[in-house]
Amino acid sequence: MNKIRVIVAKPGLDGHDRGAKVIARALRDAGMEVIYTGLRQTPEQIVAAALQEDADVVGLSILSGAHMHVCPRVVELLRDKGLDHVLVVVGGIIPDVDIPKLRAAGVSGIFLPGSPMQEIIDFIKANAQPRLERV
């Protein structure tokens, strides 16, 4: 069985990494391969990691309000690298008005505070396309 590979990244200047670390562990415990990039990653660094690790999913944790800058840029850079198949999900504090804009920009999953871990795990399992299935 091919494991889903997930990059969990914490972009921007914010260092509040509780959510990123908890979700990284939960995804790993759910049988995925998780690479946590650590703090203060630029969109370029995140996409480089996705390319290098042959990731199926990029998960972004953003609490600071920088999501409208970071998320569309990550999606755009993934496309530039031919990584259109990579599922992009974001978790954090996202105002309602920004949710349709993020979806339009290509963010597939948006998870707000209080989202159960299981919901995020199920979403990724249902929507990620692991390597062997892509040809």
Partner 1 sequence: MSGMKTATPPTTSGRGRWEARVLEPALAKAPERSGPFTTVSGRDVRRLYTADDVPGFDYETNLADPGRFPYTRGIHETGYRGKLWTMRQFAGFGTPEETNARYKELLEAGGTGLSVAFDLPTLMGRDPDHPLSLGEVGKCGVSISSLADMERLFDGISLADVTTSMTINSPASMIFAMYLVVAEKQGADWGRLSGTIQNDILKEFIAQKEYIYPPRPSMRLITDVFAFCADQVPRWNTISVSGYHIREAGATALQELAFTLRDGIEYVQWGIDAGLDVDRFVPRISFFFNAHNDFFEEIAKYRAARRIWSEVMRDRFGARDERSLKLRFHTQTAGVSLTAQQPYNNVVRTAIQALAAVLGGTQSLHTNSLDEALALPTKEAVTIALRTQQVIAYESGVTSSVDPLGGSYYVESLTRDMRDGAYGYFETIDRMGGMVAAIEHGYPQREVAESAYKFQQAVEKKDKVIVGVNDFVADREEPIPTLYIDESVAERQLARLDRVRRDRDGGRVGRALDQLRETAAGTGNTMEPLLECVRAYATVGEMCDALRDVWGEWEEEPVI
When binding is defined by CB under 8 A, the residue of 52, 54, 80, 95 that contacts partner 1 is 95
User: Is residue 31 involved in binding partner 1 (CB under 8 A)?
Assistant: no
User: Is residue 65 involved in binding partner 1 (CB under 8 A)?
Assistant: yes
C-alpha–C-alpha distance, residues 12 and 10, integer Å: 7
User: Is residue 13 involved in binding partner 1 (CB under 8 A)?
Assistant: yes
C-alpha–C-alpha distance, residues 45 and 2, integer Å: 25
Of the listed pieces 26-34, 47-55, 74-82, 125-133, which binds partner 1 according to CB under 8 A? Answer: 26-34
User: Is residue 113 involved in binding partner 1 (CB under 8 A)?
Assistant: yes
C-alpha–C-alpha distance, residues 120 and 47, integer Å: 21
Of the listed pieces 34-42, 76-84, 99-107, 123-131, which binds partner 1 according to CB under 8 A? Answer: 34-42
Contacting residues for 108 by C-beta, under 8 A, at least 6 apart: 87, 88, 89, 127
User: Is residue 70 involved in binding partner 1 (CB under 8 A)?
Assistant: yes
Here the tokens at position 125 are 């399992």
Minimum gap (Å) between residue 125 Cβ and partner 1: 16
> Which residue bears the tokens 């990550």?
74
